[in-house]
Chain A
Amino acid sequence: MSIATDTSTPGLAGGAGGPLLGLRGITKTFGAVQALNGVDLDVPAGQITALVGDNGAGKSTLIKTVSGIWAPSDGVISWEGRPVEVHTPRDADDLGIATVYQDLALCDNLDIVQNMFLGHELLTRRLLDEATMEKTAKQTLADLSVTTVQSVRQPVGSLSGGQRQSVAVARAVMRDAKLVIMDEPTAALGVSQTAQVLDLIHRLGERGIAVLVISHNLTDVFEVADRIAVLYLGRLVSSGPIADYDTQRTVELITTGGSSTRSDGNGTGNGTAESKD
């Protein structure tokens, strides 16, 4: 249970206790489309792993298999060293995985508080504890410097794209998860909100929480990530500590899968780097 937090001293790379989340040979096919092809990936505790790749590379598909949206066609997911079955979102939730989906997955007819606590409502005497939920939601939004919403009792359908994204991020970080997965969490955000989310990701890492973040913005990736993993056409073509990569090489990996330059950035000695082709 507490392996992850014990072994990951904030900011320290690697971790002898093994990764928090380990993926081996994850494969996913949709009919004839092979979205994922034998992906091996380790997400260490207390570190921020950036998952990058072109449109359609399979990033969202990969995180959806981890979050229990759908089962992988093949492959093994391990959690804190033990193989686990993640059949439903509830399973992922029980493990301690919180996810911000690319499409946000909010209920437009519910208000901000109701969305943030959906599936995790607080109860007093078996009834909804609206007061505590509203206060907590407000506090979390304040932490994220989301100050533009008029009221936390506003239906989410009436919010702007960036505000909706803030709600989705707040929803995921509000709970004490061990792994927070974010699929393009800053895509619709303005400058200051983006900075807040990046800052938040940093702070999550400092607190020993693992973060797996998908982003197309390499500047953000290099600013925030400890490790990077590149998907290309459903295969994980390269992964390792961020120090082994620069923007140019990463762009090349994203666009060509690194076929022109054999990657030599793997295996930097901490035993967690993976390379696959």
Chain B
Amino acid sequence: MTTQQTPPPATPTDGPEPSPAAGATHRRSAVAPGAVSLDLAAQAPELSNSVGEYLRAWVKRIRSGESGLLPVVGGLLILGIIFQVKSHYFLTAGNLTNLLVQGAVFVLLGMAEIWVLLLGEIDLSIGYVAGIGGVVTAILAAPPDNFPWWAAILIALAVTAAIGALQGALVILLGLPSFIVTLAGLLGWEGVLLYLVNGHGTGGTIRLSNSVLLDLSNGNLSPVASWVVMVAGVAAFGAVTILRDRHRRVSGLVAPPMAVSVAKVVLVAVAGVGLVLITNVNRSVIGNLRGLPYVVLIILGFLAAWTFVLGRTRFGRYVYAIGGNPEATRRAGVSLGWNRLWAFTLTGLTAGAAGILYTSRLGSISNNIDGGTLVLYAVAAAVIGGTSLFGGRGRMVHALLGGLVIATIYNGMGLIGLAADYQYMLTALVLLAAVTADALARRGRAKA
């Protein structure tokens, strides 16, 4: 992969420098001492640990169209209030846990879609690619193959990753629009899915009988383990956030003030405690069903991993760069092809994982899975969360929040007895609002 190309030395400490005259002293000798102090002075207000300064910058960003997570979190709260007023069952622990499990598939599909959306591309096929992930897992785990559950999952993910790579290769090598290639995928993979289900299943479904696979979406940690895992997760997040921000402040780099770092961690801690309090309530009428669903951990695991790859690796950087300005990225010596191919591959892989969770929740996969609606929900989740359809802007957490919005609509509408017709219409309105916000923000930026 291209990200392994070694760049020419760019710092004095960065390896042997072939040209003696222009080498290690280059940058230093170019320094005009006066200019340096001037520059640092100019940076000072922005580095000051003042919360007020930070908030002012934040308000400015929102005004210029970079509203961040504010709209989607606000929307989530408003939807929650509306549904709670309409149905007192909505905010019960049992329903909220159910909502999380329902939302998991939308969230993961949204993350799959974000990989290609960041490039400025789209993948319409992920609904059925997810279906294939579920089907392959189900077939391999059942007789006569009887693969162990982990092998079934790994093979299924390899298959869906390969599907993503194949579609990506068609887009990249032939220069075809991803819209068209994946539209063909939407049809073609549904065909493959029908072929597999009808060939291996009975009555148009393949059952899942492996208990580990069923537990992925239906099992949960014990209440005690839920607390332990949550505390460990929040502690890890807190340590990473606080230490990183502190290190940046100490080194004189751009960083948020201490109070803001702490506030972030407190917010996550509150969310974590709330999550465990809710999921640890017994939600079964007859038996005892308590604890954090595994699926929540799976989702958070993907969120952490993909956020890390996007934020900390060269490949992640290039995904954003290609989405922002492909020609500039090419001129910077970056291989567009390989990086785009990897992004398409990760889309396929993540979609496969979503399909496995989907199959696990239903306990089977049938030939009437609606991959068309699933992909629309996936795009909607990403865009509602704040990822741009125009490429270059978005984060994995957008899929989490956008997916929760969709799951809330889906769940809440069901509770108050409104059927699919109203669900679709409301989802459409929310999606339109999100896309409009995206387009307006883009126009605002263009004007600025």
Chain A residues in contact with chain B, CB under 8 A? 1-2, 4-5, 67, 69, 88-90, 93-94, 96, 99, 101, 104-110, 114, 117-123, 126-128, 130-132, 134-136, 138-153, 157-158, 173-176, 178, 200, 203, 207-209
* CB-based contact A69/B35 at 8 Å: no
Residues of B within 8 A of A135 (CB): 251-253
* CB-based contact A2/B18 at 8 Å: yes
With an 8 A cutoff between CB atoms, is B88 at the interface?
A: no
CB contacts under 8 Å to A, within B335-388, are 335
With an 8 A cutoff between CB atoms, is B36 at the interface?
A: yes
* CB-based contact B7/A119 at 8 Å: yes
The residue in chain B whose Cβ has the minimal distance to the Cβ of A129 is B11
20 additional contacts (CB under 8 A) given A1-B18, A122-B14, A138-B39: A5-B21, A67-B331, A89-B332, A90-B335, A93-B8, A96-B8, A110-B320, A110-B324, A114-B321, A122-B7, A131-B253, A146-B39, A147-B39, A149-B42, A176-B17, A176-B26, A178-B19, A207-B26, A208-B21, A208-B22
* CB-based contact B334/A140 at 8 Å: no
Q: Indicate which residue in A108, A122, A207 contacts B11 across the interface (CB closer than 8 Å).
A: A122
* CB-based contact B29/A151 at 8 Å: no
With an 8 A cutoff between CB atoms, is B274 at the interface?
A: no
With an 8 A cutoff between CB atoms, is B38 at the interface?
A: yes
Residues of B within 8 A of A90 (CB): 5, 333, 335
Residues of A within 8 A of B332 (CB): 89, 105, 118-120
With an 8 A cutoff between CB atoms, is B218 at the interface?
A: no
Can you report 8 residue pairs joining A to B where beta carbons are below 8 Å apart? A89-B333, A90-B5, A107-B329, A122-B11, A122-B14, A174-B27, A176-B9, A208-B22
* CB-based contact A142/B35 at 8 Å: yes
Residues of A within 8 A of B64 (CB): 158
Give the distance to chain B from A261, nearest Cβ to Cβ, in Å.
39
- Rounded to whole angstroms, the CA-CA distance of A158 and B14 in the bound complex is 31
Residues of A within 8 A of B77 (CB): none
With an 8 A cutoff between CB atoms, is B425 at the interface?
A: no
Complex A-B, nearest 6 residue pairs according to Cβ-Cβ distance, in ascending order: A119-B332, A107-B324, A109-B324, A142-B39, A109-B392, A105-B328
The residue in chain B whose Cβ has the minimal distance to the Cβ of A171 is B332
- Rounded to whole angstroms, the CA-CA distance of A127 and B317 in the bound complex is 11
Residues of A within 8 A of B18 (CB): 1-2
* CB-based contact B325/A108 at 8 Å: yes
Residue interface bits B302-340, CB-to-A below 8 A is 1, else 0: 000000000011100100110111011111111100000
* CB-based contact A107/B392 at 8 Å: yes
Residues of B within 8 A of A143 (CB): 27, 30-32, 35-36
* CB-based contact B27/A200 at 8 Å: no
The residue in chain A whose Cβ has the minimal distance to the Cβ of B47 is A151
Give the distance to chain B from A103, nearest Cβ to Cβ, in Å.
9
Give the distance to chain B from A199, nearest Cβ to Cβ, in Å.
9
Give the distance to chain B from A229, nearest Cβ to Cβ, in Å.
23
- Rounded to whole angstroms, the CA-CA distance of A67 and B331 in the bound complex is 8
Task: Count residues of chain B with CB under 8 A from any CB of chain A.
Answer: 58
CB contacts under 8 Å to A, within B251-307, are 251-254
Residues of A within 8 A of B22 (CB): 5, 176, 178, 207-209
Q: Indicate which residue in A109, A121, A176 contacts B19 across the interface (CB closer than 8 Å).
A: A176
- Rounded to whole angstroms, the CA-CA distance of A209 and B19 in the bound complex is 10
The residue in chain A whose Cβ has the minimal distance to the Cβ of B3 is A121
Chain B residues in contact with chain A, CB under 8 A? 5, 7-11, 14, 17-23, 26-27, 29-32, 35-36, 38-43, 46, 64, 247-248, 251-254, 312-314, 317, 320-321, 323-325, 327-335, 392-393, 445, 448
* CB-based contact B334/A119 at 8 Å: yes
Residues of B within 8 A of A96 (CB): 8, 19
A109 and B320 contact, Cβ closer than 8 Å, known pairs A120-B7, A139-B31, A142-B31: yes
- Rounded to whole angstroms, the CA-CA distance of A173 and B31 in the bound complex is 12
Give the distance to chain A from B154, nearest Cβ to Cβ, in Å.
24
Question: Max chain A CB contacts within 10 Å: which of B19, B26, B314, B392?
Answer: B19
- Rounded to whole angstroms, the CA-CA distance of A121 and B10 in the bound complex is 9
Give the distance to chain A from B60, nearest Cβ to Cβ, in Å.
10
* CB-based contact A131/B32 at 8 Å: no
Residues of B within 8 A of A173 (CB): 30
- Rounded to whole angstroms, the CA-CA distance of A153 and B7 in the bound complex is 22
* CB-based contact B19/A2 at 8 Å: yes
* CB-based contact B11/A136 at 8 Å: yes
- Rounded to whole angstroms, the CA-CA distance of A49 and B19 in the bound complex is 21
- Rounded to whole angstroms, the CA-CA distance of A203 and B38 in the bound complex is 20
Residues of A within 8 A of B317 (CB): 110, 114, 118, 121, 128
* CB-based contact A136/B10 at 8 Å: yes
* CB-based contact A145/B20 at 8 Å: no
* CB-based contact B30/A175 at 8 Å: no
* CB-based contact A175/B8 at 8 Å: yes
Residues of A within 8 A of B313 (CB): 126-128
- Rounded to whole angstroms, the CA-CA distance of A62 and B434 in the bound complex is 45
Residues of A within 8 A of B20 (CB): 2, 5
Q: Indicate which residue in A110, A132, A148, A207 contacts B42 across the interface (CB closer than 8 Å).
A: A148
Residues of A within 8 A of B43 (CB): 138, 151-152
The residue in chain A whose Cβ has the minimal distance to the Cβ of B41 is A147
Residues of B within 8 A of A176 (CB): 8-10, 17, 19, 22-23, 26
Give the distance to chain A from B32, nearest Cβ to Cβ, in Å.
7
